[in-house]
Chains A and B, each alone.
Chain A
């Protein structure tokens, strides 16, 4: 099995593992986005969704542990790759003029590290607020309580922006890293990544915005 370690240790192998872990984390984000959006259908729908989710506590735990593994792998590799990349250019340029590949990928690719690090901070805060704290309140009230504070509204919206940027590059880049590429489907993969990222960002930002502007939301 030495070939597995050798492959994963290679530059392309690390990127492939980044891609697969990123895809799985991205799928979770999409599911979470859909579940979260049940709040838009009202308090009852949101609470029913939360109850249905927690009816399968053991299964949920398995998924949570898997997510933790994917997350740790994704973050660790990102840091290892970044360090190697920094070392690959010991003397920086005096002038850096980015050309941009012209493929319409936008600002996501060059900000992956920063959007990723911000999401890491957000995730810790988010888990403390919703997973490990506030268990005594129904989740709809907990949500209203947290997002009633303008500072957290801004923080949550900033995280949604970081997520949108991260996904706009990631949802395309992961296919490229895995070698999935075809002249007929490339435009679909690239535009689809941006569209999916923007849709995710929009749906996620609706809930904090609704709480901000409609005092009776989820009441």
Chain B
């Protein structure tokens, strides 16, 4: 059934950097002809095989599931985190969204809190530090409780699940003009604050995660909504409003002096 699509050629400009403190620069690689059904990461695989054959260092990039659900991949393609397609991770971005002869600029996520490691790989460990600061619920071990002992309104469950879709890829930070982590922290705080399991640590979570976010030197929210446009999981900025609300409420209501 499928009609053969014309293969395409691209000129890649890829950021190359040998180590965290090494100076980096763009290098140009002509690629193709390639199948338009190939994903952007598969294109990098092909390029890397060629580079290896030539005795050059392959381009380092993060990836894992290649199904758009793990949050491991990510780079800025032509100025957009995860590329130009909405609600799409880099591994799910296919070459059919580019035109034959296009120049494609691929650079790493840029933020002070995400230091470079090598080429397109950055250290997003700051997100792990944020989760450790409060993005969890403390649950006593033992027999699983009966599912309906904690009533959860359907609307709250839906909102919590929408927020829980966050895969922690860091595109929100990459796309934010201020390199803020508000959408990530907003999603985590919302996801847990909306559910009864998150209630006991609700105030402490909001205070600690925001404090940690500030310590890690993420920027401040400018309500420009670039994060929402870049998020591969379609997380909305109402989660940022909820984070603001949760933090201010916790600051006023908590017994901390």
Contact = CB atoms under 8 A, between A and B. Distances in A.
B44 interface: no
Contact of A97 (B79, B110, B245, B248): B79
A99 B110 contact: no
Given A97-B78, A109-B222, A178-B248, A90 B112 contact: yes
Contacts of A177: 221, 223, 244
Interface string A12-40: 11111000000000000000000000000
Interface in A37-92: 81, 84-85, 87-92
A169 B111 contact: no
A112 interface: yes
A93 B107 contact: yes
Interface stretch (B3-11, B90-98, B138-146, B235-243): B235-243
B153 to A, nearest CB: 15
A199 to B, nearest CB: 21
Contacts, number: 151
Interface stretch (A2-10, A135-143, A200-208): A2-10
A192 to B, nearest CB: 15
Interface in B201-246: 210-211, 213-214, 217-226, 228-230, 237-238, 240-246
Contacts of B256: 3
B29 interface: no
Contacts of B240: 176
Interface stretch (A150-158, A159-167, A179-187): A179-187
A6 B207 CA distance: 10
A173 interface: yes
A100 interface: yes
Interface string A129-148: 00000000000000000000
B224 A89 contact: no
A141 to B, nearest CB: 43
Nearest to A100: B229
A6 B257 CA distance: 10
Contacts of B113: 88
Specify which of B217, B219, B228 lies most central, judged by the most chain A CB atoms within 10 Å of its CB.
B219
Given A3-B257, A89-B110, A109 B224 contact: yes
A101 B228 contact: yes
Contact of B222 (A7, A87, A96, A112): A112
Interface of A: 1-3, 6-7, 10-16, 81, 84-85, 87-103, 105, 109-110, 112, 169, 172-173, 175-181, 183, 186
Given A93-B76, A94-B13, 20 more contacts: A3-B251, A7-B251, A11-B221, A15-B221, A15-B244, A85-B220, A88-B179, A88-B217, A88-B218, A89-B178, A93-B79, A94-B107, A100-B225, A100-B226, A101-B229, A102-B225, A110-B177, A112-B222, A179-B243, A186-B238
